[in-house]
Amino acid sequence: MKSKKFWIPLIIIIALLGAAFYFRSDIIGLVTGGRSGETVNAQTPGERGEIDLENIQTTIIRPADSMNQVSAAGNIAAVSERPVTLEASGVAQQVTVTEGDEVAEGDLLVALDTSDLERAVEKAQLSLDSAQASLDKLLEDADDADIASAQADLASAQESLLDAQAGADEIEISAAEASLASAWAKYNDLLDGPSDDKLIQLSASMEKSFIALRQAQQAYDKIAYSDALGESKQAAELQQATIDYASAEAAYNEAAADADQSDLLSAWSSIQNAQQQLDNLKEQPTAANLASAEAKVASAASKLESLLDGADESDLRSAEINVEKAELDLEEARDALEKATLNAPVNGTVMSVKVSEGERVNAGSSVVALSDLNELELTVDVAEIDIPKIEVGQAAQITLDALSDQIFEGLVTRIAPSSNSAGGVVNYPVTVQLNGDLSQARPGMTAVAVIMAGGDGESAGWLVPTDAVKERNGQTMVILLRDGQPSPVQATKTGVQGEWTIVQSDELQAGDEALGSVSSFINEDEGGSGMFGGRPPGGGMGGRGGR
């Protein structure tokens, strides 16, 4: 006889097998609509109560907020295209980039010919050196020789002032009076002409010269036949006698002639000058003379004081200003030279180049455009009826025609405040910024954005085919296919949308397949939006047989 220890495990095993058989029958009853515990033959499909697991219709459940998704198409674009502008004018000597090049911040883009700019820097440097030298000279101590010279100039000026203050002495006045008398005597002689005695004297001299000339002529005539006539003593004496007679005759004629008008005017001018000098001496000291002498003393004293005390504040400040101005000019020249080289301000991709080597460009010209291709956005037109569903910050999923196997995440960054209309349809531009790895995406690619207008699926509930929802003993069950077997999950029904039922359940999760089917899928129509519009992210809604 067997012991109790043997029967107890056997009884437990039989009980567990019975419970499993009953649970299996209950599930099949929920699926087929039969009674709990009804026998099902899964090997001979087609008879009442049987389940064909290979051909059963299933549909993947969806978050309930899929009803609020908005789908629209557009083209990818860079978030910003940054123009790079030249700040100097000149001829492009170097253009180092072409469209499509990747550049890093600081890379050389364009370099201008800098010959003129370099010369401007050199000139500005020379001007600064000159201004600095002038300032340094003012700051230096005075040289002993310069001080001694300034002291001598002051002493001379002071002596001249004393002379001016004392006036003319008797000797100076007497000399001036004598000069005036001499000028008058010369003038009167010109008016009166020579005296009779003078004329007799000049006439006698002329007669004497004539007699000498006649005697020389006679002596010369006696040897006129000689071969050496030109070298003879008589020829020389005749020549000298001729000159003496001509001179005596000219002197007589000059004395006998009336005075020349120009000589009279010159003599009269001498009288006037001599008179003015005498008058000036008698009038001294005059106010003008004293003022002039005092000014010279003051100037000499100021020069000496400047040497002893150094440059005054105004001179120093003026020299310092000249230095500061020269420094600014040099800085501006260096800046202009630096601006002749255009470097990339940021990392990016070269989108366009608008200058060629050898071409002259002006300051302010945009010659290169850069974009960061890691910052892309998509702008789509959304119908006015869907705009209330969209807010800045909502998530979106983007698919690209060129990269159909990838899904990009994004966020709504901008909703245009004004609409654009075409053919009577009112749309509002909505901008979505792409996130994640954008290395393969390019501006201009065609894309579709699905904007998630609701919350997450778990909080909003799940959409399941209505025929997958079963009521049993006051409880709502969603029949799922898990691990190849039907499995009921308890849920709470919160609404119905046509062939879809909205339920809440902690046991439901994304990817679950419900035992049921629908004839229309959410987002099935690529041209629409909302419950039955837009391309679904990641594929269709169907499961086994229902996809």
Listing DSSP states for 155-189 in one string gives: HHHHHHHHHHHH---HHHHHHHHHHHHHHHHHHHH
Assess whether pLDDT exceeds 60 at residue 399.
yes
| Residue 297 backbone phi and psi in degrees, to 5 | -65, -45
Question: For the purposes of burial, counting CB atoms within 10 Å of the CB of 412, is it exposed (0-12), middle (13-18) or buried (19 or more)?
Answer: buried
471-484 burial code (b ≥16 CB/10 A, e <16): eeeeebbbbbbeee
- To the question of pTM greater than 0.75 for the whole model, the response is no
What's the pLDDT band for 331 if we cut at 50, 70, 90? very high
What letter would DSSP give residue 259?
P
**CB contact at 8 A, 54 and 419:** no
Provide, rounded to the nearest whole percent, the portion of the chain with pLDDT above 90: 16
What's the pLDDT band for 53 if we cut at 50, 70, 90? low
Q: What pLDDT, on a 0 to 100 scale, did the predictor assign at position 476?
A: 93
Assess whether pLDDT exceeds 70 at residue 45.
no
Bridge partners (DSSP) listed for residue 491: 476
- What whole-number distance in Å separates Cα of residue 370 and Cα of residue 80? 9
- What whole-number distance in Å separates Cα of residue 201 and Cα of residue 518? 164
Higher pLDDT, 461 or 513: 513
Q: What pLDDT, on a 0 to 100 scale, did the predictor assign at position 363?
A: 86
What's the pLDDT band for 229 if we cut at 50, 70, 90? low
Boundaries of every domain in the chain: 1-52, 59-67+456-532, 70-80+372-451, 81-113+340-370, 120-141+310-337, 146-167+286-309
Question: What is the rounded average pLDDT of the residues 53-77?
Answer: 80
Three-point CA angle 384, 387, 391, nearest 5°: 165
Q: What are the structure tokens assigned to 320, written together?
A: 């310092």
Look at the alpha carbons of 387, 391, 393, 396 in this order and tell me if their dihedral is positive or negative.
negative
Sorted by sequence, the CB contacts under 8 Å of residue 361 that are 6+ apart come out as: 86, 89, 90, 91, 92, 112, 355, 367
- What whole-number distance in Å separates Cα of residue 290 and Cα of residue 162? 9
Q: What is the dihedral of CA 459, 465, 466, 472, to 10 degrees?
A: -80
Show the DSSP H helices in 451-511 as ranges: 457-460
What's the pLDDT band for 101 if we cut at 50, 70, 90? confident
Q: How far is CA 236 from CA 109, 231, 239, in A?
A: 101, 8, 5
Give the chain's mean pLDDT.
Answer: 78
**CB contact at 8 A, 88 and 112:** yes
Q: Are strands 425-434 and 376-383 parallel, antiparallel or unpaired?
A: antiparallel
**CB contact at 8 A, 458 and 416:** no
Question: What is the rounded average pLDDT of the residues 451-470?
Answer: 75
Q: What pLDDT, on a 0 to 100 scale, did the predictor assign at position 439?
A: 78
Sorted by sequence, the CB contacts under 8 Å of residue 141 that are 6+ apart come out as: 310
Assess whether pLDDT exceeds 50 at residue 35.
no
Assess whether pLDDT exceeds 70 at residue 37.
no
* Architecture field, domain 81-113+340-370: Beta Barrel (2.40)
Q: Which helix (H) or strand (E) holds 377?
A: strand 376-383
**Which residue type sits at 207?**
E
Q: Which of 212, 208, 209, 229 is nearest to 220 (CA)?
A: 229
| Residue 147 backbone phi and psi in degrees, to 5 | -65, -45
Bridge partners (DSSP) listed for residue 495: 502
Q: What are the structure tokens assigned to 67, written together?
A: 């009803």
Provide, rounded to the nearest whole percent, the portion of the chain with pLDDT above 70: 79
Which of 27-31, 55-59, 183-187, 516-520 is the least confident region? 27-31
**CB contact at 8 A, 40 and 55:** no
- What whole-number distance in Å separates Cα of residue 508 and Cα of residue 523? 21
For residue 122, how many other CB atoms are within 10 A of its CB? 11
- What whole-number distance in Å separates Cα of residue 335 and Cα of residue 532? 63
Q: What pLDDT, on a 0 to 100 scale, did the predictor assign at position 68?
A: 67
Q: Reduced to 3 states, what is the DSSP secondary structure of residue 306?
A: helix
Q: What pLDDT, on a 0 to 100 scale, did the predictor assign at position 18?
A: 47
CATH topology of domain 70-80+372-451: Elongation Factor Tu (Ef-tu); domain 3 (2.40.30)
pLDDT tens digits along 107-136? 888 999 888 889 999 999 999 999 999 988
Q: What pLDDT, on a 0 to 100 scale, did the predictor assign at position 546?
A: 43
Show the DSSP H helices in 229-355 as ranges: 233-256, 261-283, 287-309, 313-339
315-334 burial code (b ≥16 CB/10 A, e <16): eeeebeebbeebeebbeebe
What's the pLDDT band for 536 if we cut at 50, 70, 90? very low
Identify the CATH number of the domain defined by range 59-67+456-532. 2.40.420.20
Q: What pLDDT, on a 0 to 100 scale, did the predictor assign at position 79?
A: 79
**CB contact at 8 A, 373 and 75:** no
Look at the alpha carbons of 5, 10, 11, 15 in this order and tell me if their dihedral is positive or negative.
positive
Q: Reduced to 3 states, what is the DSSP secondary structure of residue 495?
A: strand
Assess whether pLDDT exceeds 50 at residue 2.
no
Q: What are the structure tokens assigned to 48, written together?
A: 């009442």
Q: Reduced to 3 states, what is the DSSP secondary structure of residue 39?
A: coil
Which of 221-230, 274-283, 384-393, 463-472 is the least confident region? 221-230
Q: How far is CA 445 from CA 78, 151, 349, 403, 429, in A?
A: 11, 91, 17, 9, 17
**CB contact at 8 A, 392 and 415:** yes
Question: What is the rounded average pLDDT of the residues 364-376?
Answer: 84
What's the pLDDT band for 539 if we cut at 50, 70, 90? very low
Q: How far is CA 277 from CA 164, 273, 289, 290, in A?
A: 15, 6, 14, 17
In residues, how long is the chain?
A: 547
Q: What pLDDT, on a 0 to 100 scale, did the predictor assign at position 415?
A: 92
Q: What pLDDT, on a 0 to 100 scale, did the predictor assign at position 69?
A: 76
